[in-house]
Amino acid sequence: MSFGLARGKTLDITGVGIDSADLPTTDVAPLIDPREWFGERASLPLEIEIGSGKGTFLVQQAPQQPDVNFLGIEWAGEFFRYAADRVRRNGVPNVRLLRADAVELIRHRCPDAVCTVIHLYFPDPWPKKRHHKRRSIQDQSLRDFHRILRSDGELRIVTDHDDYWQWMLEHVARAEAIFARGRFAPPGAGNPEESELVGTNFERKYRREGRPFNAMTLRKR
Residue 123 CB, nearest approach to ligand SAM (Å):
6
Number of residues that bind ligand SAM (CB under 6 A): 20
Instruction: From 97, 157, 95, select the one nearest 122 (Cα to Cα).
Output: 157
According to DSSP, the residues that pair with 74 across neighbouring strands are 99
124 included as an active-site residue: yes
Q: Output 27 or 129, the one with its CB closest to ligand SAM.
A: 129
83 to 122: interface string for ligand SAM, x by CB under 6 A = ------------------xxx-----------------xx
Instruction: From 191, 186, 196, 178, select the one nearest 216 (Cα to Cα).
Output: 186
Residue nearest to ligand SAM as judged by C-beta position:
51
Distance of CA 155 to the CA centre of its chain: 10
Residues 140 and 107 sit within 8 Å (Cβ to Cβ): yes
Query: How far, in Å, CA of 207 to CA of 5, rounded?
Result: 22
Stretch that binds ligand SAM, among 4-12, 15-23, 71-79, 176-184 (CB under 6 A): 71-79
Residues 69 and 94 sit within 8 Å (Cβ to Cβ): yes
Any idea what DSSP says for residue 122?
S
Stretch that binds ligand SAM, among 49-57, 147-155, 171-179, 188-196 (CB under 6 A): 49-57
According to DSSP, the residues that pair with 120 across neighbouring strands are 50, 157
Residue 163 CB, nearest approach to ligand SAM (Å):
15
Burial call 50-82: b when 16+ CB within 10 Å, e when fewer:
bbbbbbbbbbbbbeebeebbbbbbbbbebbbbb
Q: Contact between 47 and ligand SAM (CB under 6 A)? A: no
**Binder among 74, 85, 154, 160 for ligand SAM (CB under 6 A):** 74
Give the angle 3-137-195 at the CA atoms, nearest 5°. Answer: 65
Catalytic residue, from 33, 124, 162, 163: name it: 124
Instruction: From 55, 61, 60, 57, select the one nearest 16 (Cα to Cα).
Output: 55
When computed from its CA atoms, the radius of gyration of the chain, rounded to whole angstroms, is: 17
**Binder among 32, 37, 46, 53 for ligand SAM (CB under 6 A):** 53
137 to 176: interface string for ligand SAM, x by CB under 6 A = ----------------------------------------
**Binder among 18, 51, 159, 160 for ligand SAM (CB under 6 A):** 51
Residues within the interface to ligand SAM (CB under 6 A): 50-51, 53, 73-76, 79, 101-103, 121-124, 136, 200-203
Q: Could you give the residue numbers annotated as active site?
A: 124
